[in-house]
Chain A
């Protein structure tokens, strides 16, 4: 998969539209889920689209040391950080929406999702991103540190604290 991705990106570099389409199809779910976790639902598709356009424009800058997905996630993260200023205002509405939603649903799976979402909303954006990458996608701490461009120790502490917070939330949701 990783090698295929690198080949796809090389084709994108040559201007292949079909390779670009395949790249979008292959990674859109991961990128949008990550952005949903860190940016909230309003900005997700906008930033995700910007991410893929940037990948098209800067395909030549990809280095094969990291996977293409890591590379795309790092672009998405930078785009999301750029849009961060507007989030704060929107996140207030988001939380209100999540709370209203939690009153209406009662299935155990929905309770767990809402508990996790609320726990995520209560931590910083950097911490949320580290949690999503390591616990949601299974990236190693050092891979997450590369993607987020923050020190390895910071990622470790973010993930450890985040895991505790999420376990508490899951315990309460049971």
Chain B
């Protein structure tokens, strides 16, 4: 590559990055955090709704099986807790296995 071509490549690179935003942009960072929190809130709401529905469904099933109001409630809570523990434990176990498989990625 000649000197002229190198200079021209430099001009192209400068022109391509001429519209760059400032290197530090607090407003952008705040917007990212806000969006992340909105996403978290939506996820929590959906999860809460799912758990509530599951608990209600379990209670109705238990009640219909004739185990009584209190026993159906206890059964629903126990089953929901068991499923919840599994759901929490599985991703943690997967993350641990990934770390063991790719230790460099987490160093």
Could you list which residues of chain A lie within 8 angstroms of chain B, going by C-beta atoms? 6-7, 10, 13, 21, 24-25, 28-29, 32-33, 36-37, 45, 48-50, 52-53, 56-57, 60, 62-64, 109, 112-113, 115-116, 120, 131-132, 135-138, 163, 166-167, 170
6 contacts between A and B (CB under 8 A): A24-B29, A32-B21, A33-B16, A60-B98, A132-B16, A163-B9
Could you list which residues of chain B lie within 8 angstroms of chain A, going by C-beta atoms? 8-9, 11-13, 15-25, 28-29, 31-33, 35-36, 39, 95, 98, 102, 104-107
B39 pairs with A53, CB closer than 8 A: yes
B31 pairs with A49, CB closer than 8 A: yes
Interface residue SS majority, chain A: helix
B23: chain A residues within 8 A (beta carbon):
29
Q: What residue in chain B is nearest A138 (Cβ atoms)?
A: B13
Cα–Cα distance between A50 and B32 once the two chains are bound (Å):
8
Cα–Cα distance between A116 and B8 once the two chains are bound (Å):
12
Number of A-B contacts (CB under 8 A): 93
Q: What residue in chain A is nearest B94 (Cβ atoms)?
A: A60
A166: chain B residues within 8 A (beta carbon):
12, 15
B105 pairs with A167, CB closer than 8 A: no
Cα–Cα distance between A48 and B9 once the two chains are bound (Å):
27
B32: chain A residues within 8 A (beta carbon):
24, 49, 52-53
A63 pairs with B105, CB closer than 8 A: yes
Say yes or no: A116-B15 contact (C-beta < 8 A), given A6-B105, A25-B24: yes
Cα–Cα distance between A115 and B11 once the two chains are bound (Å):
12
Smallest CB separation, A54 vs chain B (Å): 10
Cα–Cα distance between A120 and B17 once the two chains are bound (Å):
13
Cα–Cα distance between A7 and B28 once the two chains are bound (Å):
23
A62 pairs with B105, CB closer than 8 A: yes
A63: chain B residues within 8 A (beta carbon):
102, 105
B25 pairs with A28, CB closer than 8 A: yes
A163 pairs with B29, CB closer than 8 A: no
A10: chain B residues within 8 A (beta carbon):
105-107
Shortest beta-carbon contacts, A-B, top 7: A136-B16, A116-B15, A33-B20, A52-B32, A64-B105, A10-B106, A113-B18
A64: chain B residues within 8 A (beta carbon):
102, 104-105, 107
Smallest CB separation, A56 vs chain B (Å): 6
B33: chain A residues within 8 A (beta carbon):
21
B13: chain A residues within 8 A (beta carbon):
135-136, 138
